[in-house]
A and B are shown apart, each in its own frame.
Chain A
Amino acid sequence: MDEVTEGVRQRREVNAYNLFYSTVTDRAQPALHTHGVRIPMFFPVIEDRTADVTAEPDFVLYDGETCVLAEIKSGNNIEGRDIKQMRKCDAVDIETAEAALKDAQVRERLGYTGTVTAVEPVIVYQDLDEGYIEEAAEESTQFRDRVEELTNYAVLLTQDYGGQLRPLRGEFNESGNLQSLLRRGVELPQNPPDQIMLTEGMEHEILAIAIADVWGEKALDHDDGAEVSRTAVRDYFSPQHNVQPSDLDLVFEFLVEIGACEQVENHTYRFTRDRYDAVLDVEPQVMSESVEDYLHGSEQTSLTDEFE
């Protein structure tokens, strides 16, 4: 079996987000968008100041009534921290959800009043189905207990390329329009668009792709290219991602090394059209080898491996 690189793992994570995102687009069946469902927030931090609870779902779906707080997992492994995450999402009450929608300017952007009648936490795993759950529950009491506990807080769903987003276990608290859409399931495209190129972790590999995507492409619009500073990149991904300057320095060292951009002054870089070939190479490169290994070589680690 092929070894899964760090880059590939991050790509799968991003793909899981993009697949979920595609539920609202016209290639889904039914496209949730046509039923009034919008995604007003990605990676929000929803704080209930009085109860001192902070929920951090990946997506919020909202149709003018129901707020779905969705956590997306790229694998099928139910972990203890997933339960913790969903417990926090479950603690978000209607008032807190309304306050978060207000911060996200849903009234201005979507024309919705921002009223919430139900908050529904959901957690979505890839590669999960009834058969797997049954089998795993039979083999391991820990798995059985985790499914049990998880579904106290959230509805457990699965999604698949060219397959469906659909619930496997658990019940929605209320019976609204959005709930019944999800209960019936949504047919998803086999290969959805790359709308989102971020992971929660913002590791070097996905960061390199995201920077190449945003500024490499921006450079195509201008004869003299596009310049970007380390500070500007950090600001672009804030506040939901706090990208460390040292990580950015490493990523830019890599981007300069493969020729995707040039350094123009300290911590400032320029992307130009004639470097776009190298920009296109960023993704395949980081899929095959980590940024760190590319820059500093993997000899040392492989030597150690051999002696182990």
Chain B
Amino acid sequence: MDLSISDIEDKTTREVLHELIQYVITTDEEMAAKDTRSGGRTDLNIYLCDNQGYEIGDLETWITRLAEGDHITSYAESYVAEHTFSETTADDDISLVTIKTPAKNREDEFVFVTTNGYLWVLTTVHSDWRKKTIENLLEYLPCVERLYLSAEDLEELTGRVQDSRVSGFTAKYHAPNRDRDATLMFSGAEEDDLQTAEEAFDAKPTRIEFDQTNSPATAIQGSNTNEGRLTMRSVRKGSEAKAVETLLGLTEGYQELDRQSFEVKHPPERHELDSGFTVDGFTAVELTNPDRDEATTEELITDLEENVLNSNQYRYGVRDLGSKLRVYDTNHQETFDVALEPPDLILYARESTTALSLRDFVRDVYDNLDSTYSLSKSANPVAIQ
């Protein structure tokens, strides 16, 4: 990506997207010739992050804090040591960030956009380098966190893309089961394949590719992952406007579905009254109906300890005679409770809980414990409207 600040200055988000779409523009001939997705092409990627305090122009402050913080991990420390960072502000909510890797003589560019409590990072950097540069940065920045969708939500989101069909997917089955400890990765080329994988193996999609037509030929190829990343692989010349609309629609839909799953809209709050006090508000994220045998409470706790709570991120204590865990997420400095209703897990928000720790924990459960849980949330104000 060879972008300069003048390309994004004084532009709206829509115009910036339009500018970046240029990098994936394909001619009619190229589009027609293309029946496979292989090859080292340039894709436009958008990382969608929950933003709890990043402001455009803040990068240097955050990097300094990362480099000098007391609680920094050795990974973050060597990451900061191996790269240099600069941010050029285009306006209040858009900037151009350059991450340099001196050892490899590389310079990679990213457009940061803050919008309504979210941070978007746009880039055309190749996947090999995205992990080393931007994905690490987003992981280490404490104030931002990539959005996350359950498999069901990912399918719903992709289903909302107009004039589109599923053209490929990656799905995963992962369930630790004393009888059947297996992880299977699936990939396929058609929507039917995905259904088959889900029905036969309970494999849940983590990435879905779609083709979008613009009367009548395929014009846009894109994909969604469940870890807050949207990709535009190619856009036929003339379909740029439609591609921008698709991206804006997906972004909005992604954010909405993430909020639906993880936002703590009704935290339990104590209200003091003349005659006593009340606890108002209730939020529970429910992980239910996994493809596993009924586990006992003790087995479920052991599974969580071995697969999810084993990192430095978590400290926890057993509560309620072994039927709940109180978990302290040291990254986000929040606590929440995990109620065990074997084989289901219920996450109850506490006063300090936000989407950050709930989302992180759920992602760990899917990745490391069991990808076959269904996710739902219930939340209501209890006394106060």
Contact = CB atoms under 8 A, between A and B. Distances in A.
B341 A104 contact: no
Contacts of B316: 280
Nearest to A112: B385
B276 A193 contact: no
Interface in A1-46: 8, 11, 15, 21, 24-27, 31, 33-34, 38-45
Interface stretch (A86-94, A166-174, A281-289): A281-289
5 contacts: A25-B284, A109-B384, A194-B319, A194-B324, A284-B319
Interface in A259-301: 273, 276-277, 279-281, 283-284, 287
Interface string B369-385: 00000000011111111
B348 A193 contact: yes
A33 B317 contact: no
Contacts of B68: none
A43 B276 contact: yes
A39 B317 CA distance: 30
A224 to B, nearest CB: 14
Given A104-B274, A105-B274, A194 B317 contact: no
B284 A109 contact: no
B380 A42 contact: no
Interface stretch (B98-106, B139-147, B326-334): B326-334
Given A40-B278, A191-B323, A221-B333, A26 B379 contact: yes
Contacts of B321: 8, 11, 287
A8 B284 CA distance: 25
A140 to B, nearest CB: 31
B330 to A, nearest CB: 8
B383 A220 contact: no
Contacts of B335: 217, 220
B275 A33 contact: no
Contact of A31 (B319, B380, B385): B380
A239 interface: yes
B320 interface: yes
Interface in A193-221: 193-196, 217, 220-221
Interface string A130-165: 000000000000000000000000000000001000
B339 interface: yes
Interface string A32-66: 01100011111111000000000000000000000
A240 interface: yes
Contact of A220 (B276, B323, B352): B352
Question: Number of contact residues on A: which range applies?
Answer: 35 or more
Given A193-B348, A194-B320, A26 B328 contact: no
A111 interface: yes
A162 B342 CA distance: 12
Nearest to A8: B321
A144 B279 CA distance: 37
A194 to B, nearest CB: 7
B81 interface: no
Given A26-B284, A191-B346, A217-B350, A280 B378 contact: no
B336 to A, nearest CB: 10
Contacts of B326: 280
A25 B382 CA distance: 7
B276 A25 contact: no
Interface in B262-281: 268, 271, 273-279
A61 to B, nearest CB: 11
A110 interface: yes
A114 interface: no
Interface string B258-301: 00000000001001011111110010101000000000000000
A277 B315 contact: yes
B382 A38 contact: yes
A193 B325 CA distance: 11
Contact of A104 (B273, B317, B352): B273
B339 A11 contact: no
A103 B335 CA distance: 33
